[in-house]
Amino acid sequence: MTMIAKSDSCGAPFSRSFVGIFWAVQEKGRAASLLEHRCSLKEAEPYGEMLTCPHGHYEVWEQWQKDAKLVRAGFASPVMISEYEEWPRGRIVKPAQGELHALR
């Protein structure tokens, strides 16, 4: 599985700690890739006892469809021809205290 993204939601280089959303995208004849959108912990919002990215799957996918330059070269095609709910997706969240977890 390949991780695909260019930068965090602010356009900054990736930091070591983040939360975010992701999709597992697999075009026919290719290995599955993780297409993801990261948010710094400074941007994260509390959700119960967790910190989560304030951006939703729908809004990020829609933004990518409007500007394919936001998606790494070679991976814009699935974004442009499909809807966000067609691919398995999930969130990377962080407890306010402790380690990161992936939820799907």
Query: Per-residue pLDDT tens for 66-89?
Result: 998 888 777 788 899 999 999 999
Task: State whether residue 57 is helix, strand or coil.
Answer: helix
Percent of the chain with pLDDT over 90: 46
Q: How many CA atoms lie within 13 A of 13 on its CB side?
A: 1
Reported pTM: 0.76
Residue 5 has pLDDT above 50, yes or no: no
Residue 96 has pLDDT above 90, yes or no: no
Domain of 98?
2-103
- CA-based nearest residue to 83, from 23, 31, 30: 23
Q: How many domains does the chain have?
A: 1
Task: State whether residue 54 is helix, strand or coil.
Answer: coil
Structure tokens at 73: 């070269």
DSSP state of 42: T
